[in-house]
Amino acid sequence: MILTVATSPFDDQKPGTSGLRKKVPHFKQPHYAENFLQSIFDVAERDAGATLVIGGDGRFFNREVIQIAIRMAAANGFGRVVVGQDGILSTPAASNLIRKRKAAGGIVLSASHNPGGPDGDFGIKYNIANGGPAPEAITEATYQRSRALAEYRISDAPAPDLSILGETMIEAMVVEVVDPVADYAELMQTLFDFDKIAAMIAGGFRLEFDAMHAVTGPYGKAIIEGLLGAPAGTVVNGIPLEDFGGGHPDPNAVYAADLIAKLMDEDGPDFGAASDGDGDRNLIVGKGIVVSPSDSLAILAANAHLAPGYAKGIAGIARSMPTSQAADRVAAKRGLPLFETPTGWKFFGNLLDAGKVTICGEESAGTGSDHVREKDGLWAVLLWLNVVAERGESVKAIVESHWSEFGRTFYQRHDYEEIDSKAAAGLIGSLRDRLASMSGQRFGTLVVSEADDFSYKDPIDGSISTGQGVRILFSGGSRIVYRLSGTGTKGATLRVYIERYEPDSTRHNVAPQEALAELIDTADVIGEIKKRTGRSEPDVIT
Q: Is 391 within 8 Å of 398 (Cβ atoms)?
A: yes
Q: DSSP letter at 208?
A: E
Phi, psi of 474, rounded to the nearest 5 degrees? -115, 155
Q: Quickly count: other Cβ atoms within 10 Å of residue 443's Cβ.
A: 17
Q: Is 55 within 8 Å of 83 (Cβ atoms)?
A: yes
| Bridge partners, 301 (sequence order) | none
Strands (DSSP E) found in 20-114:
20-23, 51-56, 80-88, 105-109
Alpha-carbon distance of 534 to 420, in angstroms, equals 10
Alpha-carbon distance of 453 to 467, in angstroms, equals 6
Distances (CA, A) of 128 to 41, 45, 138, 364: 12, 9, 9, 23
Is residue 112 part of the annotated active site? The answer reads yes
Exactly one of 39, 112, 296, 364 is catalytic; which is it? 112
Rounded (10°) angle between helices 182-191 and 91-100: 90
What is the DSSP pairing of strand 51-56 with strand 105-109? parallel
Alpha-carbon distance of 376 to 387, in angstroms, equals 17
Instruction: Find all residues with CB under 8 Å of 487, minimum gap 6, and list them.
Output: 16, 17, 18, 21, 111, 112, 113, 114, 493
Q: Is 382 within 8 Å of 464 (Cβ atoms)?
A: no
Strand order in the sheet with 235-236: 235-236, 207-210, 271-275, 282-286, 289-291
Residue closest to 380 by CA, chosen among 240, 212, 216: 216
Alpha-carbon distance of 316 to 263, in angstroms, equals 32
Alpha-carbon distance of 542 to 529, in angstroms, equals 18
Three-class secondary structure of residue 443 per DSSP: strand
Alpha-carbon distance of 270 to 70, in angstroms, equals 44
End-to-end CA distance of the chain: 51
Instruction: Find all residues with CB under 8 Å of 27, minimum gap 6, and list them.
Output: 33, 61, 65, 122
Helix boundaries (H) for 283-335: 293-303, 326-334
Q: Is 146 within 8 Å of 31 (Cβ atoms)?
A: no
Q: Is 124 within 8 Å of 37 (Cβ atoms)?
A: yes
Q: DSSP letter at 244?
A: G
Active site residues: 112
